[in-house]
Chain A
């Protein structure tokens, strides 16, 4: 069935294209996954402000990780979100606007490394043990705990690898999965701290 669409003016078509919104009746919306890295004050308040922004503004939040950096006053968040170009633009600008954020960067579009850590507990029997170990071997999974009938693996890698591993383990009876969510960094020689900022330097020295 064809959905009815009003005739669009050239300006309206341009606008929709810019926003990544559909122009033709049956065209799907251009929604992309973006990995955004945020450097922020290493305080609970700063973390809440960032997370709160996503719920208050209705942005998607696929995964979020946070941890201290080499500077104990600064923590780093990796956020994975989805949306069309207009929404992603909003996410970035709204994040940047927060006073607790020091640096916001959309890694998607540039070349970057992205990793996830997964702990997976699976039950085994003498019959399934070898098959499980073989699969883990292929994925370079490490056994971190073993009991007479369960094994716990540690696995790092891109999300696709983690998901493939989980899928292959499923038939054996997964008992528990813990995933860290993604952490990411741009592939380049620079750092976010390359520009001279007296206050940043000050905090680094403290």
Chain B
């Protein structure tokens, strides 16, 4: 058994050696570092988020010498770099690229790689490595990067021979992009970057063990259409896979044609316009009461690019107890993982919906929709607006009003994330970016920066980062990148001087013991912090200041603006299904109204 990780790439090399006039080629042997740069160019990479170091210094030298068409963005911390690549990928649908050195450079990418793995984000992360001869010797800045990242990557490669480099890079992008997208790590020993080979970039690679789903089974699609026709209380449950497959418009047409109400997951937000009466907003732990009620009363759940996550289902054996389940997903391993499907359609969501749409006839769902409207009236999303105090929900609603929903919103992790999901009312796919699966605090600022690089020249919608005061500090150093590139992103820090989401659990389930969640003594002055990074810093402390401060922020277009929104700390996210509870045991409001501490 070889230690090699890339026999399959080797296997295709000879197949593709056949003279291909379109392949990008150099006649003379060039160094691995040059092959790397040329391969990224040939792949059409636009932006590389990277940080140099000894193991990759030759690549950086080639970037300076060859002046490639891609832009290299020097990040301040490699974790920030991976989240930037994620934001870039989520906003554009393209593969994000990261380049870091060995050892600490590589280990700093681990959180971002895990995040991308959980949220199916296409990334290729290139890590430097000590020379092949030193691997295993505890050499300076050596880590077993492949070993560390194995369970959080879709695949990984250690390149041991410079002749395999170009193929491996092609294969890495191919794997990251196709099927269910995900992160791929390519580990590059220094000697491989220094040795020479002629450069040939293949037009395509064929990996013998990589099985992509074929066209969807028309028989299953017909069966699904029949189940939809027979149902009386159907519900579309839409996840991020729909957006990944660029199928949001088709999904919207399907829902409107058959008059089926739609609820989305956190990552599904934007797949269906939330101003449509058929929209029930988000479901699950902090989803709307009416979406969760609809789930519990539906007789048919049509899951589209969703994976029945525990934050969606709560206690899974009591979830949707009356519903048959149609499950459409590109990843066969997702199907029947948590809830057995009665009709499983494996395939590209877009291809499936294209075929399903003509088979589905308009339905009469009036009675079902009326029932849902009752639930909506019974328990709408609301918050206190009469006490003159500033709340996150209000800030988010005013940002929504300011942008009309034509903005890319990147949220961090915590209460503010849930309020963003509940109150922004998303209209368009790829306008809501957040860390869902891993729930990584510190994601939002770098991801917003990555989205800004991705959308440059593609869209003039503003990029709004909505972060908590806790999470913002986790990657605040990346403000330096945003300022250096004069990115006009708007950063709203929802400052409750608390690790608010943890505080909420402590209040609800730990008898108000606010253990290590109070940040009021340690938080920086966010306005001064912004200014130290050459950004504009603004502040609002009362509801009536919000519109004016937004107005001022929107006037700035040559650098980032950070707004410190000082909100009340006692606010909680409702409704809520406690972890592990059944969806029907939802808490809809504060249990003890006088529990303010």
Q: Which residues of A contact B (CB under 8 A)?
A: 6, 8-9, 11-12, 14-16, 18-19, 40-45, 47-49, 52, 56, 68, 73, 75, 86, 89-90, 93-94, 96-102, 197-200, 202-203, 206
Contact = CB atoms under 8 A, between A and B. Distances in A.
Interface stretch (B149-157, B358-366, B411-419, B478-486): B149-157
Contacts of A73: 7, 11
Given A41-B7, A199-B12, A101 B321 contact: no
A44 B158 CA distance: 12
B5 interface: yes
Residue in A8, A15, A73, A206 with the greatest tally of chain B CB atoms within 10 Å:
A15
Contact of A45 (B5, B322, B323): B5
A11 B210 contact: no
B336 A41 contact: no
A91 to B, nearest CB: 10
A68 B1 contact: yes
B14 interface: yes
Interface in B317-350: 317-318, 320-324, 331-333, 335-337, 339-340, 342
Nearest to A53: B151
B42 interface: no
A11 B324 contact: yes
Nearest to B342: A14
B322 A9 contact: yes
A206 B321 contact: no
Interface stretch (B201-209, B431-439, B462-470, B514-522): B201-209
B15 A199 contact: yes
A96 B7 contact: no
B105 to A, nearest CB: 21
B209 A41 contact: yes
B592 interface: no
Given A86-B340, A93-B333, A12 B1 contact: no
Contacts of A89: 336
Contacts of A198: 15, 206
> What 3 pairs between A and B have smallest CB-CB spacing?
A93-B333, A18-B340, A45-B5
A48 B158 CA distance: 14
Interface residues of B, number: 42
B151 A52 contact: yes
B340 A15 contact: yes
B11 A75 contact: no
Nearest to A100: B209
Contacts of B146: 45
Nearest to A68: B1
Contact of B2 (A9, A43, A90, A200): A43
Contacts of A42: 1-2, 7
A6 to B, nearest CB: 8
Contacts of B529: none
Identify which of B7, B156, B331 gathers the most chain A CB atoms within 10 Å of its CB: B7
B2 A44 contact: yes
B555 interface: no
With a 10 A CB-CB cut-off, give which of A8, A45, A89, A101 has the most chain B CB atoms: A45
A49 B336 contact: no
Given A90-B337, A96-B332, A43 B208 contact: no
B8 interface: yes
B295 to A, nearest CB: 13
Nearest to A67: B1
Contact of B11 (A6, A44, A48, A206): A206
A7 B331 CA distance: 33
Nearest to A94: B333
Interface string B143-185: 0001100110011101000000000000000010000000000
Nearest to A102: B209
A166 B211 CA distance: 43
B567 to A, nearest CB: 39
A75 B342 CA distance: 36
A101 B336 contact: no
Nearest to A200: B208
B22 interface: no
B28 interface: no
A90 B308 CA distance: 14
Contacts of B333: 90, 93-94, 96-97
21 contacts: A6-B318, A11-B323, A19-B340, A43-B7, A44-B1, A44-B2, A48-B147, A73-B11, A93-B333, A97-B331, A97-B333, A99-B209, A99-B210, A197-B208, A198-B206, A199-B8, A199-B208, A200-B208, A202-B11, A202-B12, A203-B11
Contact of A12 (B8, B317, B342): B317
A206 B147 CA distance: 29
Contact of A11 (B2, B14, B322): B322
B511 interface: no
B4 A203 contact: no
B3 interface: yes
B412 to A, nearest CB: 27
A18 B318 CA distance: 16
Contacts of A102: 208-209
Given A99-B175, A99-B207, A203-B208, 15 more contacts: A11-B320, A12-B321, A18-B336, A18-B340, A42-B1, A42-B2, A43-B3, A45-B4, A49-B150, A89-B336, A93-B335, A97-B333, A101-B209, A206-B11, A206-B14
Contacts of B14: 202, 206
A97 B332 CA distance: 8
Nearest to A41: B7
A89 B321 CA distance: 22
Contacts of A43: 1-5, 7
A61 to B, nearest CB: 15
A41 B3 contact: no
Contacts of A12: 317, 321
Contacts of A47: 1
Contacts of B342: 14
Interface in B517-564: none
A19 B341 CA distance: 10
Nearest to B324: A11
Contact of A93 (B151, B154, B332, B339): B332
Contacts of A56: 151
Contacts of A15: 339-340
B386 to A, nearest CB: 41
Contacts of B323: 11
Given A42-B7, A199-B11, A206-B11, A11 B340 contact: no
A11 B12 contact: no
Given A9-B322, A90-B337, A44 B3 contact: yes
B421 to A, nearest CB: 28
